[in-house]
Amino acid sequence: MRSRNDPLTSLRDRAPDYGIELSSAQLDLFRLYLDELTLWNRRMNLTGMDRADRTVIELFLDSLIPAPRIPGEGRLLDVGSGAGVPGLPLKIFHPHLDVHLLEARARRVSFLRQVVRLLGLPGIGVFRGRIEKEPGALPFERYPLITARALAPLARTLAWCSPRLSPEGLLVCFLGRSAQKVLDESREVMERTGMAVQEVIPYSLPGSEGRRHTVFFRRKK
């Protein structure tokens, strides 16, 4: 029996508020992920968080916000994956996705490869490189789905990621409370790169102030 203070309890109980249902097997995978993340966080600053309960909400649950709206199969590229978010949570939720995690920093690549081994899920690849500088680091030229969380200012994220999107592919970005201002400032880049906003999801996380926004961009034909 799990303790009432088990941080995964909040993920299990609050995820349905966002249209996300997690099985016990998926929660077990999140537990493995959290334990390894906590261990590595003591040696290197992977997340900037020192509390497991906030990690579960602000990284795991936040990463899952777009999960009900993305395809459950196909290829997903997570750019600047860092501690594995949102790519690994989305892979746990959609086990049939073929997920590629792209990260430039060697120590974080080592962490990601260790977590992938622990989770034991097929269809996850970890690649070292920068999307804007090393296009050959990835096995595919284009992806139907790309995610980017805290990668760079939106204009740069659009410029870097749009060439790697398939025609009519989706780019999912995680923006803060000033999403509309950021979108307005990026209109020129959106036009130049052939990107258009498909959907904006406003939401708040438990225990956090302010609204966040997950934005879906679709690449025009």
- CA pair distance 196, 208, nearest whole angstrom: 29
Amino acid at 45: N
The pLDDT tens digits for 140-172 are 999 999 999 989 999 999 999 999 999 999 999
Packing angle of the helix pair 24-41, 106-119 (nearest 10 deg): 150
The rounded percent of the chain whose pLDDT value lies above 90 is: 86
How confident is the model over 5-27, as a mean pLDDT? Answer: 95
Give the containing element (helix H, strand E) for 189: helix 187-193
Q: How confident is the model at residue 54 (pLDDT cuts 50, 70, 90)?
A: very high
pLDDT averaged over the chain? 94
For the chain, the structural domain boundaries read 8-219
**CA 137 from centroid of its chain's CA atoms:** 19
Q: Which tens digits make up the pLDDT trace of 200-214?
A: 999 999 988 889 999
User: Exposure string (b/e) for 52-87, b if CB count within 10 Å is 16 or more?
Assistant: bbbbbbbbbbbbbbbbeebeeeebbbbbbbbbbbbb
Q: How many CA atoms lie within 13 A of 155 on its CB side?
A: 9
Statement: residue 102 has pLDDT above 50: yes
Look at residue 4 in the predicted model and tell me its pLDDT: 55
Beta-ladder partners of 124: 99
Mean pLDDT of 45-73: 94
- The pLDDT value recorded for residue 1 is 40
The per-residue pLDDT for 140 is 93
pTM exceeds 0.75: yes
pLDDT at 135 over 80: no
Q: Domain spanning 8-219 has what CATH number?
A: 3.40.50.150
